[in-house]
Amino acid sequence: ALAPRCGWVLPGLEQRLAVPAAATARPYAAAAKTAKKDAKKDAKRSRQEKVKDEPRPRRRPLMAEPVDDVYLTWLYKRPSYELEQAVGMLKRFQELDFTPPKQFVYINVSLDMALQKKKKVDPFSSSVTLPYRFTDEVNKVLVFTENEQEAEVARQHGAAIVGGVELIKWILEDEIQADFYVAVPAIIPKLIPLRNKLRRKYPSIRRNSLGSDIPQMLRFFRECHEYAVEDESIIKTRIARLDMPTEHIIANLKTIIHDICTFKPSNFDPIVRSLVIRSSTSEGLLLKLDGILPEAEKVEEKEEKNAVDEDQQKPVQESVRT
């Protein structure tokens, strides 16, 4: 029978409504859920044990050089080339592909930044003057000075912006930007508010951007080539144009590599781990490092060997004298 509409409740229905939901749940539901979880854990553990027990597939050693022109690249070691040979190949690729002859040439440098224990070389940036310029672009240089004579000299030698402390506000608000910032020693204490803004471009003696010889600083920074470490251990930068003579491309590359090597002491492993050269439209060619890295390290090794030989010969000479 249906309950009346006047708000009456059937006998026993009130008791059912008063019982909490937890009490009406099935008593074996929690146990079944726990057992299901345990079964999943056991299955996962058994699969892991099977994977450990199975012998790992042996990887075939990579073959040295392919015989045919068409081959699977993952079966062979990546070929490496002499620098002059690689530049010639890039020029040949350009002729075969009918790509622009004045395209840029790039290098990708992989670095070994490790030092003693957990120490490593901090990511750095640097500027270098290349022996052969490959672009007509001129860097925008700002000169900080409050001396009228020095300001006039800076303008005569090609400074894009010249000024004193009045420029600080405009630089902080990004109203004025430049590729490089140089300063004379007299004004440097007043430029401290720009230290965090400019960071690596802040004038300093170590970067040769702080000094009294304004013409020399302008001559360097207006035509210098800048590069920086990316992703903690990679340098990607352009070095030349493909239509330049091969010896000019090689000279520019070696200049940059020699500058990179100065950021790590010579008593450690070379900072350059691998070097790849490419053009704007070609594949990358891995280079052999022999003859590219500076020979100062080899000279030091020879001197150390000679010192050891001398130490070994001294006791022999002393015994002969006695």
Among 48-52, 98-102, 265-269, which stretch is predicted with the lowest mean pLDDT?
Answer: 48-52
Chain segment 107-165, per-residue pLDDT in tens: 999 999 998 888 899 999 999 999 999 998 899 999 999 999 999 999 999 999 999 99
Give the whole-number percent of the chain exceeding pLDDT 90: 61
Among 47-56, 105-114, 171-180, 255-264, which stretch is predicted with the lowest mean pLDDT?
Answer: 47-56
Element (H, E) at 107: strand 104-111
The residues that bridge with 80 in the sheet, in sequence order, are: 286
pLDDT at 27 over 70: no
* 247 and 256 Cβ atoms separated by less than 8 Å: no
Chain segment 241-258, per-residue pLDDT in tens: 999 999 999 999 999 999
Query: Higher-confidence residue: 140 or 69?
Result: 140
Q: What's the whole-number average pLDDT of the chain?
A: 83
Confidence band for 55, pLDDT divided at 50, 70 and 90:
low
Element (H, E) at 244: none
Confidence band for 56, pLDDT divided at 50, 70 and 90:
low
CA distance 229 to 286: 19
pLDDT at 81 over 90: yes
pLDDT of residue 234: 96
Query: Higher-confidence residue: 275 or 53?
Result: 275
pLDDT at 22 over 60: no
Q: What is the CATH number of domain 141-224?
A: 3.40.50.790
CA distance 127 to 225: 5
pLDDT at 314 over 80: no
**pTM of the full structure:** 0.70
For residue 255, CA distances in Å to 63, 90, 239, 281, 297 come to: 34, 20, 10, 24, 16
CA distance 36 to 31: 9
Average pLDDT (85-93) is: 96
Helix, coil or strand: residue 239: strand
What CATH fold (topology level) applies to the domain 83-123+233-287? Ribulose 1,5 Bisphosphate Carboxylase/Oxygenase (3.30.190)
For the chain, the structural domain boundaries read: 83-123+233-287, 141-224
Confidence band for 315, pLDDT divided at 50, 70 and 90:
very low
Chain segment 284-303, per-residue pLDDT in tens: 999 999 999 987 544 444 44
Chain segment 208-217, per-residue pLDDT in tens: 999 999 999 9
Give the closest residue to 147 by CA, choosing from 193, 182, 176, 186: 186
Average pLDDT (312-317) is: 44
